[in-house]
Amino acid sequence: MTLPQDIAEFVGDWLLDRVIDDRLAGQKLRAEGGATLRRSESGLTYDEQVTLFMPGQPPFHGTRRYLWRPGPGGIAIHFEDGRFFHHLTLGQAEPGDHHDCPPDSYDARYDFGRWPLWRVRWSVNGPRKDYEMVTDFRRR
């Protein structure tokens, strides 16, 4: 099994498909789009553009940016403003991490078992949140 070993292996354009199972609202949302990881001075910049499809509503377009930095054993992923988000361990088939954002809790599980196809699953819980978001990536 081939697994990503270095941050540079993520450079490039990725297509993405996302399903959000919102258990509180009792609905499933779908998103599709792309992400580009490009080199920056201190690592990579992750830029995402998606179209979100919600039942009974017109499609919604959204963007997201993260900063990926080489870190011990993997990648330190930061929000656009520089705050630390979570750590992605490389060289493992299914690394995971946890992010607290009180009062909410975010648990990530990556799946590199079919690299260069990969998946990230977020389980989010809190007083007003209860959803699972699964995003599949493949090279453009």
Residue-wise pLDDT tens for the chain (140 aa)? 799 999 999 999 999 999 999 999 999 999 999 999 999 999 999 999 999 999 999 999 999 999 999 988 999 999 999 999 999 999 999 999 999 999 999 999 999 999 999 999 999 999 999 999 999 999 99
Is 48 within a domain? yes
Is 31 within a domain? yes
Q: Report the number of distinct structural domains present in the chain.
A: 1
Q: Which residues contact 88 (CB under 8 A, 6 or more apart)?
A: 68, 74, 75, 77, 95, 97, 108, 110
CATH of the domain at 41: 2.40.128.20
The boundaries of the domain holding residue 28 are 10-139
Is 5 within a domain? no
Is 82 within a domain? yes
What is the 8-class DSSP label of residue 121?
E
Is 3 within a domain? no
Distance of CA 37 to the CA centre of its chain: 12
Instruction: Enter the pTM of the model.
Output: 0.95
Alpha carbon distance 56, 33 (integer Å): 20
Alpha carbon distance 78, 99 (integer Å): 11
